Structure 1
């Protein structure tokens, strides 16, 4: 890999992502394993085929509206970090202690727990589907030994992902573009299989329409909850604003291309599944796309597990890429260790942030079952989305003179605030599991860290020694430092 040139102004991240790469970044984060493995949550709760398909369309529309509001925020606050940067800009001036605490809580949840745990789960899913085509050859292997092999594969995949993000943004762009194309191709194969089944008259399930529709408000609410989680990732390009070429143009354009395209793929894939599988079969299947492939694709059915593996690898790569930039911005603002804001002198990547995220993800992989941890923390994501809409309304007052090449109607952020509040309350109201208190305890632990280290800036002396050691070990320097 050729070394990148350092600008005369100093070391800084470069704008390597164009429109095509921004679209693929959104594809990469939004399309994971869910649509292939478990898209049946909305169907189980909606109760009927027609209502389920309406849920998928409406969820896509809600995601598009939220993403367009983020596009405006990205033009007003042209910094990486997405909601973290927006909170910092909007709330810090409101109160000296509580304003920055909102931003810190966001980065604390994302960087320390949610994103590395999410990457760990995605990579473990990748490992599962890499091994699936070899299932007949491993049938005699004890389950415990097979689980160890899968964990080793997951760790090797994590090492490759971390290496790609460590080495070069250009390398990330090339790899992600390929994997995004492959996962979209896998979606299209499923859709074409469904089109074929429709052409030969397989319409028995689809013709049931609204038969069996749920009349329970809570069930329909949970159907929307399931659908919207599948669409999560629509804000991906605003996390890396500082590495986008012409962000004021490419953020809105990438959203307008990617989110409707994902909505169309999700809708048509669900139609395809329902041409072959009955409602009970789809709800009960452990991996819907695999069952579909076995029935429709014949000898080509191996394409589905390969497609899921490619999709999960690309998703993990993009999620890690985004969270390392959030980690970088937080280090630059003093909300994380200063070393996270250092940049490699030749590769121009936030190397310490990448390495740290790789290590945290490794710990979660080794820890084992962490899905419940993500469930208990994930409801906070929609709280952050809602607060981002509040930040948008505040910035319209405090930064009314800032040029806005793109602006959404006021009803959109107000509507997303309502949706966010609804989605934050639904999991707790429907399943008041004590595990949700773990999220609250984690936030309180964040406040305990924030008060002395961030608010009062009381940094232990050893932190400077660690920063110097990291600089020497990784060949990294603070942003904008000139290399004379």
Structure 2
């Protein structure tokens, strides 16, 4: 049953919290199957497939091998997503990896047991996802303002882009604070628009092939790189474009009938995106030469200029729609990780509070907006997310370990959905491969940065979580002010 707020009267308690009298407050199940599919589409289809899907081609060396890499990347993503579906349905909690690590490892050791889940939340909430949203919003702003700033001085144009970034961030934050239903409606519209943009590219490719323009495709496997390192890097690029397949498990508590809709939405969305990505690459390769694909800063724009004629403006519009929808969905997901981590004692407790009227985690949404705005104002942060795939696949691999551990420690727990054991074992091997290979193939300072963030997280965990060193008086004031500002109270105890 959806949670109802029986009374919205709020008062301050002795410990500085605000409570709601006579109310049941928690996140509501608002996302049905269509919305769950659109959430996955919203996160997975970002700017990458429109702007620069060329890394896989560069590392594979040929059209034929590149298309195989894109197909294999989709299959691996599907297997990983189905493994996450088992974890999501057996636990029934939002937060994806964070919740899985808590359940699998949290009670193994007083200090080390909760550490993996804390590090996961630390990296995702404080650094990775806000930086990712900032980069996506910047891409949106660049395409949104381009038609109106062609004659502006570069400095004024840069200012216009940042102002557009902050405006877009404000709009998506307003949507995510206001209502899950509003988010669902907006995301459903954006999801349909993204599919249409992809189909426009595919349609243009079919038209060119029908005209007989198959010169580049006819090269097949000519120039293929069968070096294991090159193939692995090509696979790495493809898997990065597919990232987001776990997005529906981040919000399991808000999915209607998750035991059915979580695995079903994954089974629909990931193969659909795999087909779209493969056929879009076929379209690109039919029109543009491999050299043009590798060197073009915006592949879809170059494709549109050559194929769509007067309708080429649809491509920048499609990029803007894709990036805004993707950023909004990523923000929606990471706020649920923040909410779940706060509920588990690994973030400030106030970030687990829920708005008494709208039943959204308003403090967590606002916190993510503040972090993202800082990254936007800093500007040059693309190097910060260069090692994002390394972090992602490290955590994905650990999630497969968690799945196997839970099967051993909780064998009798009901599992509405179960994957064959070979699936998480295979995904674990892929994750180990992708975590080790980049360091061996291209050792660089970015991996030292990754280790540095982890070490900093261990220090924060030791001081503020394990030993609980907190300025209590200041924290009480901050909690009270945040609750009053966002009309939020502690959620009721989680129930299925």
Same structural fold, with TM-score higher than 0.5 when normalized by the shorter chain: yes
State how far apart, in whole Å, the 1-side matches of 2:151 and 2:188 are.
38
Give the SS at the match of 1:99: coil
User: After superposition, where does 1:28-427 map in structure 2 within 5 Å?
Assistant: 28-134=42-148, 138-427=149-438
CA distance in 2, matches of 1:434, 1:203: 42
Q: 1:115 to 1:76 in 2, by over 3 A?
A: same
Compute the displacement of 1:377 (Å): 4.2
Cα distance in 2 for residues equivalent to 1:13 and 1:109: 24
Match of 2:24 in 1: 10
**Counterparts of 2:388 and 2:246 in 1: how far apart (Å)?**
18
CA distance in structure 1 between the partners assigned to 2:5 and 2:223 by the alignment: 63
Deviates more, 1:219-228 or 1:462-471: 462-471
Whole-angstrom CA distance in 2 between matches of 1:314 and 1:473: 27
Deviation at 1:215, TM superposition (A): 2.6
Which SS does the other structure have where 1:480 is aligned? coil
Distance in 2, Cα, partners of 1:133 & 1:51: 37
2:4, 2:23 within 8 Å by CA — same for their partners in 1? Answer: no
- Contact map agreement 1:273 1:292 (CA 8 A) in 2: yes
Aligned length: 475
Secondary structure of the residue aligned to 1:113 is helix
Query: How far did residue 450 of structure 1 move?
Result: 0.7
Q: Does 1:466 align with 2:478?
A: yes
Q: Which residue of 1 aligns with 2:39?
A: 25
Judge which range, 72-81 or 472-481, deviates more. 472-481
Aligned counterparts of 2:231 and 2:163: Cα–Cα separation in 1:
40
Deviation at 1:92, TM superposition (A): 1.0
Cα offset, 1:152, TM superposition: 0.7
Is residue 480 of structure 1 aligned with residue 479 of structure 2? Answer: no
Change in Cα spacing, 1:267 to 1:377, as seen in structure 2 (3 Å) is closer
**Deviations 1:34-58, CA, capped at 9 Å, x for gaps:** 0000001000111110000000000
SS in 2 for 1:212: coil
Maintained 8 Å contact 2:197/2:318: yes
TM-score normalised according to structure 2 size: 0.94
Q: Residue 350 of structure 2 contacts residue 479 of structure 2 at CA under 8 Å; is this kept in 1? A: yes
Secondary structure at 2:413 match in 1 = coil
Q: Secondary structure at the match of 2:386?
A: helix
What is the CA–CA distance in structure 2 between the aligned matches of 1:63 and 1:377, rounded to whole Å? 16
Gaps spanning 5+ residues in structure 2: where? 7-21
Residues 422-459 of structure 1 deviation map (CA, whole Å, 9 limit, x = unaligned): 11123222221123211211111111111122112333
| TM-score computed with the length of structure 1 as normaliser | 0.96
User: Comparing 187-196 with 368-377, which one deviates more in the overlay?
Assistant: 368-377
On the 8 A contact 1:5/1:346 being kept in 2, the answer is no
CA offset at residue 295 of structure 1?
0.4
Tell me how far apart the structure 1 counterparts of residues 446 and 237 of structure 2 sit (CA, whole Å).
Answer: 19
Structure 1 match to 2:9:
none
| Root-mean-square deviation over aligned CA pairs | 1.2
